[in-house]
Amino acid sequence: MFRAQWMFELAPGVSSSNLENRPCRAARGSLQKTSADTKGKQEQAKEEKARELFLKAVEEEQNGALYEAIKFYRRAMQLVPDIEFKITYTRSPDGDGVGNSYIEDNDDDSKMADLLSYFQQQLTFQESVLKLCQPELESSQTHISVLPMEVLMYIFRWVVSSDLDLRSLEQLSLVCRGFYICARDPEIWRLACLKVWGRSCIKLVPYTSWREMFLERPRVRFDGVYISKTTYIRQGEQSLDGFYRAWHQVEYYRYIRFFPDGHVMMLTTPEEPQSIVPRLRTRNTRTDAILLGHYRLSQDTDNQTKVFAVITKKKEEKPLDYKYRYFRRVPVQEADQSFHVGLQLCSSGHQRFNKLIWIHHSCHITYKSTGETAVSAFEIDKMYTPLFFARVRSYTAFSERPL
């Protein structure tokens, strides 16, 4: 010990004053370390106490004792002001005590990632017999949870219907956990995909589910109308004295409505969308100038989805005119007129598949007497503005058949 102390005194920068203060500094460092540990334990104990008070306040609030809950809330926030943001509460499957019914944030995030399996697990924990939902209030009438699963799934297929009203299906899934499970049934989404793409969607790859395919794969939308507005200036006639010439601003709209069974309607009119869109909800419209036809989807090698449609004017049956039946009429050459339309499907902004860009537009006239066809193609210029999708807020399916 004497040799070690002697070697330390010979070290450069060490004086006798440093030697005297060394034991004091060591003692002071040990005291500071002990006080820091004690302070950390006190903070941890204070946070635990605040957590218990906060959870007790939540329990009192759920039981209806609001005055007692406010007192516990106040005591918890006096200990830790931000205790509300340090815990999160989500009911566990057991539900025995308050402390056990609250979990951490990362557990909640993992459950939200796969909500379907989490809800299925919740229903399994509740009862030995799996029930999709429970009545909130006691009633003498039969609750919908008594129905078998097959009948419930048939009801859900009626909600979707042959018009593919999947928006109503998503709204129905918000009722309870059981309805959420039924709304995610793979068979419903598989039938919807077959209705849209036919045999081309037999393989699920690269999608993980039929619902993901329906939401991510490019397709036309059925819950609204594609609308474009065209505005141009037209030169009018010159005045009699030649002093001025009038100019006219012309505005008109193009409406295209698609249906899941491959039919399409097209209308060109100067009327506003507020008066036209309600008439295009079904195919049984009485608008005279409407064009009816069918369409198909095509995906090229450049991964661009295109829509090709052939539309014709709605045929009207003319009544027989018996007034001039004894007179010889000049024969008029009858012809069938059809329009061939090509559109490219795009996405704009946050919405998906809400934009159609014109590719080509042509008119085909076929004469019945000779069978000849005359084709006249229209030049795609600034008059062919893109069509943007407008969802009908009050849209509901009026189909008479389930999915």
The answer to whether the CB of 222 falls within 8 A of the CB of 163 is yes
Domain boundaries, the chain: 45-90, 106-132+142-214, 222-315+331-389
Residue 162 CB-half CA count within 13 A: 9
Distance CA 188, CA 162 (A): 11
The answer to whether the CB of 293 falls within 8 A of the CB of 312 is yes
Per-residue pLDDT at 93: 38
Per-residue pLDDT at 226: 92
Distance CA 164, CA 166 (A): 5
Q: Which residues pair with 360 in a beta bridge?
A: 342
The three-class DSSP label of residue 157 is helix
Closest CA to 176 of 111, 126, 132, 113: 132
Per-residue pLDDT at 302: 65
Per-residue pLDDT at 2: 86
The answer to whether the CB of 366 falls within 8 A of the CB of 211 is no
Kindly give, in sequence order, each residue whose CB lies less than 8 Å from that of residue 259, ignoring residues fewer than 6 positions away: 163, 222, 265, 283
The answer to whether the CB of 384 falls within 8 A of the CB of 229 is no
Per-residue pLDDT at 102: 41
Report the greatest alpha carbon distance in the chain.
Answer: 146
Residue type, 30: S
Distance CA 193, CA 402 (A): 15
Q: Mean pLDDT of all residues in the chain? A: 77
The answer to whether the CB of 343 falls within 8 A of the CB of 296 is no
Per-residue pLDDT at 136: 77
Spans in the chain with pLDDT lower than 70? 13-35, 88-113, 120-131, 301-302, 314-333, 393-403
The three-class DSSP label of residue 229 is strand
Q: Identify the residue whose tokens are 């409406």.
A: 255
Q: How many Å separate Cα 50 from the centre of its chain?
A: 40
Q: What is the DSSP string of 272-306?
A: -HHHHGGGGSSS----TT-EEEEEEEEE-TTS-EE
The three-class DSSP label of residue 373 is strand
60's tokens = 């009192």
Kindly give, in sequence order, each residue whose CB lies less than 8 Å from that of residue 173, ignoring residues fewer than 6 positions away: 179, 180, 182, 183, 184
b/e for 124-143, b at 16 or more Cβ within 10 A? eeeeeeeebbeeeeeeeeee
Q: Identify the residue whose tokens are 């010990």.
A: 1
